Amino acid sequence: MKHLIEPVDLTPQEVDEILDLAEKIIADPPAYSQKCRGKKLATLFYEPSTRTRLSFEAAMLELGGSVLGFSSADSSSAMKGESVADTIRTVQCYADIVAMRHPKEGSAKVASLHASIPVINAGDGGHQHPTQTLTDLLTIRSLKGRLGQFTIGLCGDLTFGRTVHSLIRALMRYEGITFLLISPKELKIPDYIRADMQRKGLAFREAERLEEVIGEMDVLYMTRVQRERFFNEEDYVRLRDSYILDGEKMELARQDMIVLHPLPRVNEIATEVDSDPRACYFKQVLYGKYVRMALILKMLGVEA
């Protein structure tokens, strides 16, 4: 495994191996506390992040490694006009592995073409977010006991939501999954992903009202309307409150449904839902650290 740019870079077997290793780490964290001693992770974050950046850093530190990098383009030589290619050529002199987030689609791919060390895409624009997808898969498998034979609702910004795009691509490879795609007309799933789903003969349905389909779901994956992806404020303001999950809507859902969200949330999940045992988005955050620990071990070829 050289680089991870999008979820399909991993075979289903490799995904299973990473999830299995993550569960072993969850069961016995001290056994892995020195596995990356002497190794360095570079976090190159050209746009803001809380969970992804900190979970990568926490993952490496808990493996006994160390971390260097930057948390915004303003604090890097990108402000001076340095290219991604030159940045990665420089950083590989200091680190053993890179996690990179960039607002432009394809930037992580560009970095990987010029890197002699593994590059992990930590989110590139509205394109892909493979480590969030691994987090989502681990969360679903751990809480539902399977990856397959369930109905998942994806709600909110399906046009720009890179977490949604990555998750759909990953779940396409499992049997018996029905997708419910809930969004306003302006934020529907991109045509190229819809075409992929149709080509593979996947079961999916599009809807505009969450209330009409929430009772059918085993998993509800909420997303925020992303202000940073809009070209004008008017469109953002008009669409930002399209879907708000609250206690009233939760009453329509199955008792064993789980609610996930890649976070951050703005107001698309009311805080009253946090106390519902079906709300699993903060558990999801913790699973993200463990799955990134497993991924780092695998990509560095560390015996685990």
Question: Could you give the residue numbers annotated as active site?
Answer: 51-52, 80, 101, 129
CA distance linking residue 47 with residue 70, whole number of Å: 10
Give the angle 304-23-296 at the CA atoms, nearest 5°.
45
Rounded CA separation 36/43 (Å): 16
- Distance CA(178)–CA(301), nearest Å, equals 35
- Cα–Cα distances in angstroms (integers) from residue 159 to residues 97, 124, 206, 209, 254, in the given order: 31, 14, 13, 17, 27
> Measured on CA atoms in the order 87, 88, 92, 93, is the torsion positive or negative?
negative
CA–CA distance, 61 with 42 (Å, rounded to integer): 12
Treating both helix axes as pointing N-terminal to C-terminal, what angle do 12-27 and 281-300 enclose, rounded to 10 degrees? 110
**Residue 70 exposure: Cα atoms within 13 Å on the Cβ side:** 14
Q: Which two tokens stand for residue 171?
A: 């779940």
Cα–Cα distance between 118 and 143 in angstroms, integer? 30
